[in-house]
Structure 1
Amino acid sequence: MTEAVALAFDDATYTLRQLDELAGGLAAELSAAGVRRGSRVALMSSNRPEFVVAVRAIWRLGAAVVLISPAWRTVEVTHALDVSGATHAVGDNAVLAGLMTMRDLDETIPRGGAAFAEPDPEDDAVFVFSSGTTGLPKAVRHTHASFGAAVRHWRVALELTDADRIQVLTPPSHILGLLNIVTALDTGVWVRLHRRFDLDTMLRHIEIDRITVEMAVAPIALAIASHPDLESFDLSSLRYIMWGATPVTTSVAEEVTRRTGVGWLPAYGASEVPVIACNPIDGARLDTVGRAVPGVHVRAVDLETRAPSPPGVPGEIVVRSPSLMAGYLPESENDDAFVDGWYRTGDVGVVDDDGWIALVDRSKEMIKVRGFQVAPAEIEAVLHGHLAVADCAVFGVDDGVGGERIVAAVRTVTPIEPGDLIDLVGASLATYKRPSAIVFVDDIPRLPSGKVLRRVLRDTVVRDRVLEESHGCTSDK
């Protein structure tokens, strides 16, 4: 009987047995190099099958994987190594190789069949770095128990079976990429790994490989919606497209569904709690991230008192779950991470009587305007509805009197007057939510997860305003 393909990459395919043989060979090498139970091994790799092999090899030894983005530079990687205490390294990246001895994944991995003990559930499994927007990132520590719970939650939330087929185009160094790969291999889902993200490649392989579940973050969703030849691709194999990392931009999602007939499945998670909530497969609502998955407890608490908020009243979303991280490194980052044993997500949202969760914004990104709390996402949703707007991000700048003014950075596809966009917001939302300025930009900086780097935008705009005003002009173009 022919063994089922577990992983495809370019023209190569791998069965689980072949992946395990390669993992066994690499594990033997790493063991000889001193990797033991409790070791922390940095993994900085491009998208390739050897990434998957390395994760499985490190786990076989009872060691933990320290996932480092291949896009990081020396300062960021040095910080990650210092914070995590990594003692060994595997990868294909020159930056990591320049900082410590690295087992190069470009070198052939021998096959091996040695037996290894199952890791202890409470042992560290993986360190990922949070997508914080201020300062250097902190390490999120997951045990085999917590990450294993996340895998089970993801399988249930997406209703995955061995009949499903997925593809991974984004870096697996992010929690969602790793979660997708591990869940697929554990469930028997066929998975194609791509070298990098390319929209046409993604759409073409949905058609060629008959992909059943596609994953998307905001920039990918926007790219799909604006693809001029979207209708030329056969996407009929898709059961749904999962939207995660940021709240759904309804106009973008509806445009994709109108053009393809494929619906969306909004879901919600974080590096610290990989799976928090998900919509039902049938009857998904674009205005919510769904309900808490079985085994996860979610509630909203008052932003000031941290007392539980009544149903339907906005508050910070807090979570308890067996998939909750074991904590941050450095340890000092844990001081404000929990309230009464609940993890503080930093997201503002409401939980209604039926358990539906609707996210409003990030608590640290709320803009204080004349005593009012304004959610950037609310204004962004209005701006995204204009045909001239390709992308946008809203943030606050100091108004000089103890509050903030609203500024919208906008990337356009056709010219439009700033006043027209300000009036659009004013016609849709309360007067105090009108932007005081529209700044046209060439790009909206985002993390790989799709989250906007508002701090970077704000700092750039403030800096440019000082420079331009010193020359007698303004940055409000």
Structure 2
Amino acid sequence: MRIESFLTDATRRYAGKTALVSQGERLDYATLNRYSDRLAAHWQSKGLKRGDRVVLLLDNSWQAAVALFACFKAGAIAVPITPLTKGERLATILGDCTPTILVTQARLAGLVETVGPVPLGTLVVDKPSAKLPAADLLESVVQQDASPLPNTGIDSDLAMLLYTSGSSGEPKAVMISHGNADAASASVLAYLDARDDDVILNTLPMSHGYGLYQLIMSVRSGATLVLERSFAFPQSIFATIAAEGVTALPLVPSTVATILAQDNLAPGAFPTLRYITSAAANLPVPHIERLKALMPDIRIYVMYGQTECKRATYLPPERLLDKIGSVGIAIPNTEVFLVDPDGQRLPLGAEGELVVRGPHVMQGYWQAPDKTAKALRSGDHPWDKLLFTGDIFRTDSDGFLYFIGRKDEIIKSRGEKVAPAAVEAVLLAFPGISEALVFGVPDEVHGEAILAMVVCAQELDEREIVKYCASRLEDYMIPKTILFRNDLPRTPSGKASRRLAAAMLE
């Protein structure tokens, strides 16, 4: 199925039901469908063709949802980009994907102006901007009665280019087809046991896969999606959960840490919540234990995935505590296994690189055949396409997976290999540390020295932290220095970045 069919199907079933809650406004399915129809028709009248790229430089909003579905209806390829992007990176992305249309908001007009015009122009979603005088205004476009031309696309067409930096920092675009998104969303909705009466609160940026799929899956299941732009004001988020009767809350480890830092929460604080999910980075064991104690009756899904496949594994909530620290098993309709450096499959209990096989695996990297060939390789059969993730895991005797670290982030110190996640787990067990990031820097004696950045809820003593680590880690794993920070350096997608942390010290 193509992604826009999720909206047309939902409109037939739930026309008058609220699809989106955003910025104090509510859009039902019929309105979301009508607005996206009219915007798609408008773009087609301006020359947008099947396969053209449309850049969406937008905050979370109902306008972003309208623009996304308009892309699909027009047969275009959506390219969502975070509004936090700096000018140089934006210029690189625009030069790489060569968009026909750029959709943005007035406050970002200055940023857009610095990188030059796009071929056919721009669309501003909120209000006119003197810096973009030729731009169309979404409010005017969606009031014009029009229908898009018949869509002749199929599900093997590209739907999205999702830019990711990975550990290298260099932006590369993951090519996701409609078929990929269909398979991924169906699988995730199945294990979440999603329902049409769910109310999902999304604070994750829709410029990245985890947040973007909240919209796709909500529409597919006929649920209601409440959009917020961040988790910066947790008490406001908690009030929204209560006011909207939120049943589902997707999180990342940093937002979990924010929730756990609130001193006014007690078990039962969120009576409407059915489940929460955590992905995008490894959720530390101490966070899992405290979160489960705070939310004993709420299903907690710990998950693992990459932009290249959306999702690969999940831990069934009933196994959360007896398999604590695991990211679980393969999602439905997916095969995962570990391989050695020669690409040979490994038995249970071994440690190796995770390989993912399934219909949700990306089509490759946009205009990057060498990078594609490294990540996507042939399998046991001619039709196989395997994703080599670059992530190291181990399995237990039951086949449950445990994340160890990125291949290219393993620290080599004193002749030993150190997985940063193992050191971070110990740091996070120290009372008062809410976030930790471990990385290596060049060292003339040891090859690499181990450093740690930590975020603390209170003033702590570096010597006590090092002493604590020494009582729980091998000598070669003990951080040489503890760096105290108010926040960790993060990529545009919000992930804590070892590369950026090391660069700060250069």
Settle same-fold status: TM greater than 0.5. yes
CA distance in 2, matches of 1:257, 1:190: 26
1:241 aligns with 2:279: no
Q: Tell me the equivalent position of 1:472.
A: none
Letter aligned with residue 32 of structure 2: L
Aligned-residue identity in percent: 28
Question: Retained in 1: the 8 A contact 2:82–2:492?
Answer: no
Is the counterpart of residue 154 in structure 1 residue 188 in structure 2?
Answer: yes
8 Å contact from structure 1 (residues 60, 119) kept in 2: no
The equivalent of 1:57 in structure 2 is 70
How big is each residue's C-alpha offset from its partner over 1:126-172, in whole Å with a ceiling of 9 and x where there is no partner?
01111413232101111111111111112112111112110111210
Query: Could you tell me how far apart the structure 2 residues matched to 1:406 and 1:114 are?
Result: 59
* 3-state SS of paired residue (2:273): coil
Which is further off, 200-209 or 51-60?
A: 200-209
> Are residues 233 and 81 of structure 1, via their aligned partners in 2, closer, same or farther at CA, if it must alter by over 3 Å?
farther
* Residue 179 (structure 1) aligned with residue 223 (structure 2): no
User: Once superposed, what is the RMSD of the aligned Cα atoms?
Assistant: 2.0
Q: Is the 8 A contact 2:161 2:366 kept in 1?
A: no
Partner of 1:114: 147
Q: Which one-letter code corresponds to 1:336 in the other structure?
A: K
Distance in 2 (CA, whole Å) between partners of 1:195 and 1:408 is 30
Alpha-carbon separation, structure 1, partners of 2:377 and 2:396: 21
What SS does the aligned partner of 1:23 have? helix
Q: Does 1:140 align with 2:168?
A: no
Instruction: Tell me, yes or no, if structure 1 residue 355 matches structure 2 residue 355.
Output: no
Report deviation, 1:248: 1.6
2:301 aligns with 265
Is 1:408 matched with 2:443? no
Q: Secondary structure at the match of 2:151?
A: coil
CA distance in 1, matches of 2:36, 2:59: 17
Matched letter for residue 403 of structure 2 = L
Residues 178-223 of structure 1: per-residue CA shift (max 9 Å, x gap): 1110110111111111243332222222222121111110110000
Pick one of 121, 124, 137 that aligns with 1:104. 124
The aligned residue for residue 131 of structure 2 is: none
* Partner of residue 68 from structure 1, selected from 43, 67, 81: 81
Q: Distance in 2 between matches of 1:6 and 1:385?
A: 41
Give, in angstroms, the shift of residue 2 of structure 1: 7.9
Residue type of the alignment partner of 1:181: L
Structure 2 partner of 1:164: 198
- Bigger shift: 221-230 or 286-295? 286-295
CA drift of 1:366 comes to 0.8
**Shift in Å, 1:60:** 0.6
Moved more, 406-415 or 307-316: 406-415
How many Å separate the matches in 2 of 1:52 and 1:149? 20
Match of 2:489 in 1: 445
Amino acid at match of 1:145: G
Q: Structure 1 residues 2, 83: closer, same or farther in 2, change over 3 A? A: closer
Q: Is the 8 A contact 1:240 1:264 kept in 2?
A: yes
- Count of residues in Structure 1 that have an aligned counterpart in Structure 2: 461
**What is the CA–CA distance in structure 2 between the aligned matches of 1:185 and 1:134, rounded to whole Å?**
34
Selected match of 2:339 from 276, 301, 316? 301
Summarize the Cα distance change of 1:193–1:138 in structure 2 as closer, same or farther, 3 Å threshold: same
Change (3 A) 1:335 1:4: same
Partners of 2:159 and 2:429 in 1: how far apart? Answer: 43
Q: Counterpart in 2 of 1:467?
A: none
Q: Mean alpha-carbon deviation: is it higher for 114-123 or for 15-24?
A: 114-123
> Is 2:92 the counterpart of 1:79?
yes
Which of 55, 59, 77 is the equivalent residue of 1:46?
Answer: 59
Corresponding position of 1:36: 49
| Alignment match, 2:4 | none
Match in the other structure for 1:209: 244
- Distance in 2 between residues matched to 1:432 and 1:402, nearest whole Å: 9
Show structure 2 runs of 5+ residues with no match: 1-13, 127-136, 379-384
Aligned counterparts of 1:126 and 1:309: Cα–Cα separation in 2: 34
- Residues 2 and 78 (structure 1), Cα distance of their counterparts in 2 relative to 1, 3 Å cut: closer
2:266 is paired with a residue whose SS is helix
For residue 275 of structure 1, the aligned residue among 307, 311, 326 is 311
User: Contact (CA 8 Å) 2:327, 2:402: kept in 1 or not?
Assistant: yes
Please say if 1:329 is aligned against 2:329: no
Match of 1:227 in 2: 262
Contact 1:242 1:266 in 2 (8 A): yes
Q: Distance in 2 between matches of 1:171 and 1:420?
A: 37
Indicate yes or no: 2:233 matched with 1:193: no
Aligned AA for 1:238?
A: L
The within-5 A match list for 1:123-138 is: 123-138=157-172
Read off the aligned partner of 1:150 and give its amino acid letter. A
CA contact (8 A) 1:76 1:136 kept: no
Q: Which moved more, 1:27-36 or 1:84-93?
A: 84-93
Please report the TM-score for the alignment, with normalisation by the length of structure 2.
Answer: 0.87
Letter in 2 for 1:110: V
Measured in 2, the distance between the counterparts of 1:347 and 1:452 equals 16
Work out the CA distance in 1 between the residues paired with 2:493 and 2:284.
Answer: 15
Once residues 118 and 221 of structure 1 are traced to their aligned partners in structure 2, the CA distance between those partners, rounded to angstroms, is 43
CA drift of 1:10 comes to 3.3
